[in-house]
């Protein structure tokens, strides 16, 4: 059973997958070659993730990770004869840590943006996942659009350092904005009536309404803004990006990709 929002896989052929972006420089590859070679040689894939974003990547109490990207990374690293090594980071530091060479790939519900594209490569997008509000179920009718939300009486909450913060600051000029540093507990703020609305990706809104009775995702199949999810890769590492895109394509074509999605989103 598929979720109520659109899941799109827009994978390109490896030869067409190389998208050169802006001028900001980041380490393209380890000295002497591609991450594709370095990961196989080390038998380890270093994966940066904030680990606070269900259903993509979430760090459990025992320190382990679970989610869509965690399952996919297990298969991807195995295809290179490597073991996944998780590098915990934050949304604000995700791109800097990748650029500094602390990891080979960054995952965990990463939205494709042109700002990020200036400093990194993206894999082919594996999901269409636009922005949707989540609010108390009793208030769903009040927050159907950006205009409905952007009123002085509305308390909009958001987490720092990612596309959710950028969306809130760009679109809500009259609403009261509150920065909340902990993405895991942001939904409890709405339930406790200390905030009214959080705008995040449709997949997270759907997941959290299941986990938090009293909260409802608002029109997740008709998002406020179009969005795509992908993995972030070191800029200019053409060989690594081509391999990632081909692996994703084969997983989708063979059905393994959809089985992972169904596990977390059905």
What digits encode the pLDDT tens for the residues 152-180?
A: 999 999 998 888 999 999 999 999 999 99
Same domain? For 163 and 115 the reply is: no
Same domain? For 200 and 260 the reply is: no
User: What does the alpha-carbon distance between residue 197 and residue 134 come to, in Å, rounded to a whole number?
Assistant: 6
- 11 and 248 Cβ atoms separated by less than 8 Å: yes
Residue 105 lies in a domain: yes
Please give the tally of structural domains in the chain: 2
Residue 5 lies in a domain: no
Alpha carbon 105 to chain centroid distance?
Answer: 13
Same domain? For 30 and 87 the reply is: yes
The phi, psi pair for 115, rounded to 5°, reads -60, -45
Q: Is the pLDDT assigned to residue 219 strictly greater than 70? A: yes
User: Hey, is 220 helix, strand or coil?
Assistant: coil
Residue 4 lies in a domain: no
Q: What is the DSSP letter of 177?
A: E
pLDDT top residue among 89 and 15? 89
The phi, psi pair for 111, rounded to 5°, reads -80, 140
| Measured CA angle at 69 (ends 251, 262), to 5 deg | 65
Same domain? For 153 and 56 the reply is: no
Same domain? For 115 and 139 the reply is: no
Alpha helices in the chain (DSSP H): 35-42, 68-79, 94-99, 114-117, 146-149, 163-171, 186-191, 202-211, 238-254, 256-265
Tell me the residue range of the domain where 167 lies: 131-217
Q: Is the pLDDT assigned to residue 85 strictly greater than 50? A: yes
User: What does the alpha-carbon distance between residue 86 and residue 84 come to, in Å, rounded to a whole number?
Assistant: 6
Burial class (CB in 10 A: 0-12, 13-18, 19+), 140: middle
Query: Which DSSP string corresponds to 108-129?
Result: SSPBP-HHHHTTEEEPPP-EE-
Same domain? For 233 and 191 the reply is: no
Same domain? For 107 and 155 the reply is: no
Segment 225-234 shows an average pLDDT of: 95
Q: How confident is the model at residue 25 (pLDDT cuts 50, 70, 90)?
A: very low
Same domain? For 24 and 145 the reply is: no
Contacts 24+ apart (CB under 8 A), 16-23: 17/124, 17/241, 17/242, 17/245, 18/238, 18/241, 18/242, 19/117, 19/121, 19/122, 20/236, 21/114, 21/117, 21/118, 21/119, 21/120, 21/121, 21/235, 22/117, 22/118, 22/119, 23/118
Contacting residues for 100 by C-beta, under 8 A, at least 6 apart: 27
Average pLDDT of the chain? 89
Segment 114-139 shows an average pLDDT of: 96
Residue 9 lies in a domain: no
Residue 6 lies in a domain: no
């Amino acid at each position: 059973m598929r979720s109520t929002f659109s899941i799109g896989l827009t994978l390109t052929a490896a030869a067409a997958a190389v998208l050169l972006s802006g001028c900001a420089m980041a380490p393209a590859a380890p000295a002497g070659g591609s991450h594709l070679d370095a990961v196989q040689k080390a038998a380890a894939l270093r994966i940066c993730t904030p680990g606070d974003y269900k259903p993509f990547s979430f760090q459990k109490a025992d320190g382990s990770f679970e989610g869509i990207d965690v399952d996919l990374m297990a298969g991807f690293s195995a295809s290179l004869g490597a073991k996944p090594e998780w590098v915990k980071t934050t949304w604000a530091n995700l791109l800097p840590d990748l650029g500094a060479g602390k990891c080979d790939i960054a995952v965990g519900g990463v939205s494709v943006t042109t700002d990020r594209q200036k400093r990194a490569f993206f894999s082919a997008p594996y999901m269409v996942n636009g922005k949707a509000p989540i609010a108390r179920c009793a208030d769903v009718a009040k927050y159907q659009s950006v205009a409905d939300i952007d009123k002085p009486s509305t308390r909009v909450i958001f987490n720092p350092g990612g596309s959710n913060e950028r969306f809130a600051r760009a679109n809500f000029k009259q609403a009261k904005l509150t920065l909340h540093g902990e993405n895991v507990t942001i939904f409890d703020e709405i339930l406790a009536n200390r905030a009214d609305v959080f705008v995040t990706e449709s997949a997270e809104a759907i997941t959290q309404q299941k986990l938090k009775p009293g909260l409802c995702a608002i029109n997740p199949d008709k998002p406020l803004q179009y969005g795509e999810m992908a993995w972030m890769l070191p800029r200019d590492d053409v060989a690594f990006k081509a391999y990632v895109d081909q692996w994703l394509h084969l997983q989708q074509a063979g059905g393994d990709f959809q089985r992972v999605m169904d596990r977390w989103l059905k």
